[in-house]
Structure 1
């Protein structure tokens, strides 16, 4: 497979402050578990979780500490190194999600996590491919937690409207169950979008979700 550089990769040194920022917050004992708290309530105890774009490992480590079986995947070598240094008990696959060997995870993941703007940093034109890859890992009742800034995010990220993302998710075989404005489940907002998705062949229907903006 020909490697396609992600928007994150193309930014180069412009992204280096991200890891340093969260390393400092962790060292200071700050609360960095917001995404993990929501992820935790979406699954039963001991769930299998795939963390795509796991960064410096804070979400994966928090979920692992809560007893889940976590597979972390991160393409940035600097962040992988930082993750292994900060959370030595967390195993990290150093690979892009489109290039990682996920054979052993097929149809077995209870929750895939793509938070911290992962979807607005993937390689241009690969959004549906990434979502299809994630869907292939989901167990029949598995779900996906996604969070990103639709507009005005990091300077190297793309704008990604809720309507466009919903269309890409549907094309990838996923169903929109919920759309919120934060990981604390505030109403849908133009500033940040938090999605809960499931396989399009999953039983049941969404009980409530925010309308696309």
Structure 2
């Protein structure tokens, strides 16, 4: 983990700047059209009992966290992009959104926001892990591990090919090595949030403490 007194390095998302424009608008258009944009949330809901504490790390425009909150879970969303934070708060004003990236989700910061410091499930989907700052992948995974309650798990997912232009290409073997270095283990891997078989296009991971 970086020292708390040092500024955090810029994430790949932040460095993408204007190239990230349109992400929130695209999902808003899909929402308006009645498209299914919560497949990740349905899987997350199936992983925990009702009323679970869930952290939506990299919550974007709020589509996953809001759906889970509506199902009775205690959700904390964290999103550092101010444009997406504003969009999330406009769409779902009842969803608490912390304007923080993962490495800034310290116990002190969470406590100051009256948020839990441990979670039954951490949701980190939508390519979030391919947008963290270069060289911080293990630190990010370690922080997510430390936020798990006993028996807690992480649901993560990202493109293996064809992902956003500003994101890292995260080879599955490299990811598994980083997971292990962070004191986590891979419990399952799938090709999508519908639990289809592993493929070379997309990876969905269920992680827990090693």
TM-score, scaled to structure 2 = 0.92
2:34 paired with 1:11: no
SS of residue paired to 2:28: helix
2:153 paired with 1:143: yes
1:178-200 deviation digits (Å, cap 9, x = unpaired): 00000000111110000000111
Residue number in structure 1 paired with 2:65:
60
Q: 2:39 aligns with which of 34, 38, 42?
A: 34
How do residues 132-171 of structure 1 correspond to structure 2 at under 5 angstroms?
132-171=142-181
2:110 paired with 1:102: yes
* RMSD after superposition: 1.0
User: 1:146, 1:195 within 8 Å by CA — same for their partners in 2?
Assistant: yes
User: 1:19, 1:55 within 8 Å by CA — same for their partners in 2?
Assistant: yes
Q: CA deviation at 1:165?
A: 0.5
Paired with 2:162 and 2:134, the residues of 1 have a C-alpha distance of 17
Q: CA deviation at 1:19?
A: 0.3
User: 1:111, 1:142 within 8 Å by CA — same for their partners in 2?
Assistant: yes
Residue number in structure 1 paired with 2:130:
120
Q: CA deviation at 1:140?
A: 1.2
Paired with 1:166 and 1:102, the residues of 2 have a C-alpha distance of 28
Q: CA deviation at 1:28?
A: 2.0
Paired with 2:198 and 2:36, the residues of 1 have a C-alpha distance of 23
| Mean CA deviation greater in 32-41 or 1-10 | 1-10
Unaligned runs of 5+ in 1: 201-213
* Runs of 4 or more above 6 Å deviation: none
Residue number in structure 1 paired with 2:3:
none
TM-score, scaled to structure 1 = 0.91
1:36-88 deviation digits (Å, cap 9, x = unpaired): 00000011110000110000000000100111000100000000000000111
Paired with 1:57 and 1:143, the residues of 2 have a C-alpha distance of 20
Paired with 1:162 and 1:151, the residues of 2 have a C-alpha distance of 11
Paired with 2:101 and 2:155, the residues of 1 have a C-alpha distance of 18
Residue number in structure 2 paired with 1:77:
82
SS of residue paired to 1:193: strand
2:61 paired with 1:51: no
